[in-house]
Amino acid sequence: MSDRKYFGTDGIRGLVGQHPISPEFVMRLGYAAGKVLAAQGTKKVLIGKDTRISGYMLESALEAGFSAAGVDIGLLGPMPTPGIAYLTKTFRAEAGIVISASHNPFYDNGIKFFSQSGEKLPDDVELAIEAELDNPMGCVESAELGKATRINDAAGRYIEFCKSNFPSRISLKDLTIVVDCANGATYHIAPNVFRELGATVIEIGTSPDGFNINKDCGATSMDAISKAVVEHKADLGIALDGDGDRIMMVDHTGYVLDGDEIIYIIACNDLKTGRKEGGVVGTLMSNMGLELALKELNIEFARSNVGDRHVMELLKKKGWQLGAENSGHVINLNHTSTGDGIIAALNVLTAVTKQEKTLHELRQGLTMLPQLLVNVRFAGENNPLEDAKVLAAVDEVNETLTGRGRVLLRKSGTEPLIRVMVEGPDMDEVTLLANKIADFVKLVK
């Protein structure tokens, strides 16, 4: 990805009003993408967004750029990222464009693209768009300008798709569920999906005002939903992030289940129903408890680099179906082409309903190991990850934890930090060992 000027691992993202998330650049991006995509066939794209105030501005800028390139635009309005991926496929559009900064605050935004197959754009297409951005912006002749139409039934289509991924013979009529939509793109979709499948739904985070997306709610802020589940004596809680591709869940006691625990429940249910196809992909940050629990069940486990894109790449390479990040990106290729919070919730609810067990009971086979992450700031010229004393300390700790835990050192991609992560069966031991490595990192100049 290092030869990219604009595209990161998850599209283009930044502070609204500052390059590249400015109206002028985004219009040029629409034109450049339009020129590249118009050469490929249908000359039609879909644009969807989350609930940020800046979505109106960026949607208009993209629309102008695509129109100038002679590409027709279908406007989806507020729509979860996975919903845009799905509709891009069903409309046979050349691409689906998502205006969202996912779990970030309202003052950030971003643009990401899906291909006609509902997956992230191939690298060669992203590079072609970047190359086109270096050329001056033009405009096709008036007779060839792209038209924009609003797709009014987009939400209904996606709701029906979600419901079709839940077994038709069972119902959620016996469940009371708290659903937290993070005041984001699922606010008018997720509660309806669970309600139409029979559940009693208590909504929170479903009153977006352009500024409150992800603010003290949703999958990145679980206090509100944990409290609501206990107060309402609900069976469980489902928390989505601002664009609906991440999920966290809460059992009836208020305990929070992350992506590791969610994928464990889905994998166990697949095993019980005879649908086991290959193993499970996690990331370098996945808890070792997940790896050990899957091993007990003879389910293979592999780790990718952090990022749902890397999880997807490894799934495809191995021909497996299930993958997740502990942060809540859960991918089930039996049902969808990208990480989808609502679909993941329905996969878990299938297990709850069919096995007649609570969420609390379903996670019992998994013991999460205590994990400590220590961030160490460094300003020296030498790389702590290559320092002999740091490496020796890591080897020593690895030896101490053989078969019981693990060590991971990572450089932050955004700050001058080394992240020291240690996992093991005992929190006191983990704390001691993590600080031991951190002390050596601090000595590097």
The pLDDT of residue 412 is: 78
Segment 30-59 shows an average pLDDT of: 93
Q: Which domains does the chain have, with CATH numbers?
A: 12-152 (3.40.120.10), 158-362 (3.40.120.10), 371-442 (3.30.310.50)
Cα 88 off chain centre by: 18
Residue 396 predicted with pLDDT over 90:
yes
The predicted model gives 9-35 an average pLDDT of 94
pLDDT band at 415 (very low <50, low <70, confident <90, very high): confident
Res 80 pLDDT > 90: yes
And the tokens for 361?
A: 């009971």
> Mean of the pLDDT values across residues 319-347?
96
**Average pLDDT of the residues in 218-237:** 97
The whole-number average pLDDT for the span 231-241 is 98
∠ Cα 88 90 96 (to 5°): 5
Q: What pLDDT shows up at residue 445? A: 83
List pLDDT tens digits, range 163-197. Answer: 999 999 999 999 999 999 999 999 999 999 999 99
Pick from 2-6, 329-333, 375-379, 410-414: least confident: 2-6
Q: Does residue 167 have a cis peptide bond before it, meaning omega lies within 30 degrees of 0?
A: no
User: Do the Cβ atoms of 73 and 45 come closer than 8 Å?
Assistant: yes
Which of 67, 100, 102, 115 is flagged as catalytic?
Answer: 102
Structure confidence at residue 267 (pLDDT):
96
* Position 40 pLDDT exceeds 80: no
Distance, first Cα to last Cα, the chain: 29
Does residue 239 carry a pLDDT above 70?
yes
Q: What is the pLDDT of residue 38?
A: 83
Q: What is the pLDDT of residue 158?
A: 98
**What span, in angstroms and rounded, lies between the C-alpha atoms of 49 and 174?**
34
pLDDT at 1 over 50: no
Q: Quick one: pLDDT at residue 7?
A: 87
Q: What is the pTM of this model?
A: 0.93
Read off φ and ψ for residue 211, nearest 5 degrees.
-120, -20
% pLDDT > 70, the chain: 99
Amino acid at 349: L
Give the rounded percent of residues in the chain with a pLDDT score beyond 90.
Answer: 87
The set of residues, in sequence order, having a beta carbon less than 8 Å from that of 105 and lying 6+ positions away, is: 213, 214, 215
pLDDT for 379 equals 77
> Is 304 a residue of the active site?
no
Residue 111's alpha-carbon distances to 146, 160, 238, 245, 319, in angstroms, are: 20, 26, 26, 15, 29
The pLDDT confidence band at residue 4, using thresholds 50, 70 and 90, is confident
- Which pLDDT score is estimated for 414? 67
Band of the pLDDT at 122, cuts 50, 70, 90? Answer: confident
> Can you read off the two tokens belonging to residue 402?
């053989």
pLDDT in tens, 253-311: 999 999 999 999 999 999 998 877 799 999 999 999 999 999 999 999 999 998 888 99
